[in-house]
Amino acid sequence: MATVGGGGSACYPEAAGRCGGDVSRARGSRKPAAAEGGGRRSGSRRRRRPLVPRDPPRLAPPPPNPNRHPPAPNGRPAMALRPLLVAVALSAAALPPPPLAAAFYLPGLAPVNFCEADRETAECKSGIELFVNRLDSVESVLPYEYTAFDFCQAEGKKRPSENLGQVLFGERIEPSPYRFTFNKKETCKPVCTKTYDTRKPEDKQKLDFLKKSMLLNYQHHWIVDNMPVTWCYDVEDGQRFCNPGFPIGCYITEDGRPKDACVINSEFHEKDTFYIFNHVDIKIYYHIVENEALGARLVAAKLEPKSYKHTHPDNPDCSEVPMDISNKAHGEVQIAYTYSVSFQEEKNIRWASRWDYILESMPHTHIQWFSIMNSLVIVLFLSGMVAMIMLRTLHKDIARYNQMDSTEDAQEEFGWKLVHGDIFRPPRKGMLLSVFLGSGTQILIMTFVTLFFACLGFLSPANRGALMTCAVVLWVLLGTPAGYVAARFYKSFGGEKWKTNVLLTSFLCPGIVFADFFIMNLILWGEGSSAAIPFGTLVAILALWFCISVPLTFIGAYFGFKKNAIEHPVRTNQIPRQIPEQSFYTKPLPGIIMGGILPFGCIFIQLFFILNSIWSHQMYYMFGFLFLVFIILVITCSEATILLCYFHLCAEDYHWQWRSFLTSGFTAVYFLIYAIHYFFSKLQITGTASTILYFGYTMIMVLIFFLFTGTIGFFACFWFVTKIYSVVKVD
């Protein structure tokens, strides 16, 4: 799987109505409550009995003052744009994978061996480093770097390098002050102490930012040995949910209702009060390798966040009352951060399968697989029926046409054969259509190859940023087929402005995506979010586009224009045939609207799950099943377009080029409608910036999906009309 967001969702057992499915209370919770997002949402106090945890909605980000976010202190800008990844996932309809498959590693991701300090060697290290990633929230689209918050910082440690995919994906991995020694237990060890004087504007601003972050349920994401440190807790029906993140803290509302993680502790009860998780109990599981000389390998890292008001920070006591911060606190506030760490041998988990317990506990693996497979069977059955009807009908038509005499019967042509002299007449706006076909081909091949490599396991979650890097590199290198396809079809349409065609193929669709992306980036910059792409990375992306993709597009167009125009099986008449008046269902618009229903029917049931994983920062990993659904989507788009194309040809309407592209491309319109429905029904984003970012990203997804599906429909219909008019006798 690839992560479609850096960490796990913040699904709490009481968060009914917000995570896409009912959830149950965590065992040991004080009482159920509807977690709010932004402080003004009402919730029911009734006990809910769902099956899986649900993802809370995302709201505006937590500003350090009531008006706007300041730039993150000591934090460099970063970026979390996901459109290319979304193109890969949505193009494949994003069906969740079966939970039976296991994670695995490829050569190059070598394990690290650990041993006690007195046995440390060059091949076996004793020190265990903990890294921290950006903090994000399911209630806001704006993530922030760890350094944007006033937590304990690692002094003098070098930041690990990140690849292009990690930067584009928004990961901001930094060293932390937490460092452990293998198999050495430590209890209530102090890390640092932060003191805030609310009478000082700077301290008050930092404390307000921290409180706003707890209000919006921002999540830590910690990493040990390239493994996410997870927070696991029990939910209904004996299930155990492991969240690859844990909250900064939680809030008790003015009327005494606990929000989010505050339900896990009955001691969190003070009204209008924040409780910060300033202590973590970490347990690291290891597996002894067969050759004991090599030491042990880490197979899991779990933690439990806790809150303690350490009266004596230099000598902390992890048994005191919770660390509470009144919303109207005045004077001095002191927060001492501590941790405890222990180690436990785990004989049942191997290093190669250590991701399984996380992936198998993701919410989207707890869905009803029978209904999913049933819907797939229905789609395949309908596709088979369409193919059978088409083959039988066409076989009879072709046999009848070929049996006609060349005298009287030749003048009794009817149906689709009547338009043989106009079927390959160049379409209107052939320039634009050829440009769309070039860009769509680029996206189609990129999606196929990316999913293929993902199926082979090259893009496992342990290989951070690999999925996005693969997609970007493939898109850049596939400029040649984009230019070739655009040039070939533009030449077959009779176009002569080859320079304009090449320039539009190189800049039109990528330019629209980049313009949208740049506007989103400006908003992120203005909000001080770590999701903003760094200037250097922005220059690198432009260099990849202008210095590699554009020249490759010109090379492809050169070979495309150099070849002869596509030869058609029938000649085109000089005088266009008049199209008879069409009935309602054979008019262009009804056919286009109906044509996108069947492809969208392949994905709409599971579209919720992929949107939930994207916007709730969950992991998505099983590309084998995703690749299967990709094939189903391609077949469905092709057959639906061919079927409608045949009906229109029988009605003597030969304008099939644009109609075939728009018929399957209209699936993207249904996706847009569903995304709008998802925003208003499942999310409760109130911030202007977060709302703009959501719809900005959505428009990029829709454009990419439109080009992808439209290109499939055109190629299918082009093959169809070429095939049927090449096997009939035409005088």
Dihedral sign computed on CA atoms, order 368, 369, 370, 376: positive
pLDDT band at 483 (very low <50, low <70, confident <90, very high): very high
CA 294 to chain centre: 38
Order of all β-strands in the sheet with 273-276: 249-252, 273-276, 324-326
Which tokens in the block code for residue 87?
């193109």
pLDDT band at 140 (very low <50, low <70, confident <90, very high): confident
The answer to whether 288 touches 275, Cβ cutoff 8 Å, is no
**Range in 273-282, 370-379, 522-531 with the lowest mean pLDDT:** 370-379
586 CB-near residues (< 8 Å, 6+ apart): 647, 648, 651, 653
> What distance in Å separates the CA atoms of residue 691 and residue 694, rounded to the nearest whole number?
5
pLDDT the model gives residue 104: 40
pLDDT the model gives residue 570: 85
What is the rounded average pLDDT of the residues 147-156?
89
64 pLDDT above the threshold of 70: no
Order of all β-strands in the sheet with 140-144: 140-144, 135-137, 219-220, 246-247
Which tokens in the block code for residue 642?
């061919």
Helix, strand, or coil here: 245?
Answer: coil
pLDDT the model gives residue 399: 73
pLDDT the model gives residue 44: 36
**Range in 70-84, 101-115, 283-297 with the lowest mean pLDDT:** 70-84
Helix, strand, or coil here: 660?
Answer: helix
677 pLDDT above the threshold of 90: yes
45 pLDDT above the threshold of 50: no
Nearest to residue 621, comparing CAs of 464, 475, 512, 481? 464
* Residue 171 or 213, more confident: 213
pLDDT the model gives residue 97: 39
27 pLDDT above the threshold of 60: no
99 pLDDT above the threshold of 60: no
pLDDT the model gives residue 558: 95
Which tokens in the block code for residue 629?
């659904």
pLDDT band at 10 (very low <50, low <70, confident <90, very high): very low
Dihedral sign computed on CA atoms, order 655, 660, 661, 664: positive
Order of all β-strands in the sheet with 227-228: 174-181, 127-132, 222-224, 227-228
pLDDT the model gives residue 417: 79
Q: Alpha helix locations (H) across 618-687?
A: 623-650, 657-665, 667-682
Report pLDDT digits (tens) over 290-340: 765 678 899 999 999 999 998 888 888 888 889 999 988 888 899 999 999
215 pLDDT above the threshold of 60: yes
* Residue 579 or 697, more confident: 697
* Residue 681 or 101, more confident: 681
**Range in 91-95, 416-420, 466-470 with the lowest mean pLDDT:** 91-95
Which tokens in the block code for residue 353?
């399968």
In this prediction the pTM is 0.80
Which tokens in the block code for residue 536?
């250097």
pLDDT the model gives residue 164: 85
Give me the phi and psi of 228, to 5 degrees please. Answer: -70, 135
21 pLDDT above the threshold of 80: no
Q: Give 341's Cβ-side CA count (13 Å radius).
A: 22
> What distance in Å separates the CA atoms of residue 399 and residue 380, rounded to the nearest whole number?
28
Which tokens in the block code for residue 183?
């198999």
CA angle 171, 172, 175 (to 5 degrees): 135
DSSP-derived pairing of the beta strands 227-228 and 231-234: unpaired
pLDDT the model gives residue 43: 38
Helix, strand, or coil here: 143?
Answer: strand
**Range in 91-95, 570-574, 693-697 with the lowest mean pLDDT:** 91-95
51 pLDDT above the threshold of 60: no
> What distance in Å separates the CA atoms of residue 143 and residue 10, rounded to the nearest whole number?
14
Report pLDDT digits (tens) over 375-405: 677 677 767 877 777 777 777 777 776 666 5
pLDDT the model gives residue 658: 95
Q: Supply the mean pLDDT for the chain.
A: 79
Locus of tokens 């070979």: 559
CA angle 261, 267, 270 (to 5 degrees): 85
pLDDT the model gives residue 484: 97
- % of the chain beyond a pLDDT of 70: 79
**E-only strand ranges, 535-641:** 619-620
Which tokens in the block code for residue 338?
């501590």
Q: Which amino acid is present at 471?
A: A
pLDDT the model gives residue 659: 94
Report pLDDT digits (tens) over 219-249: 999 999 989 999 988 776 667 778 889 999 9
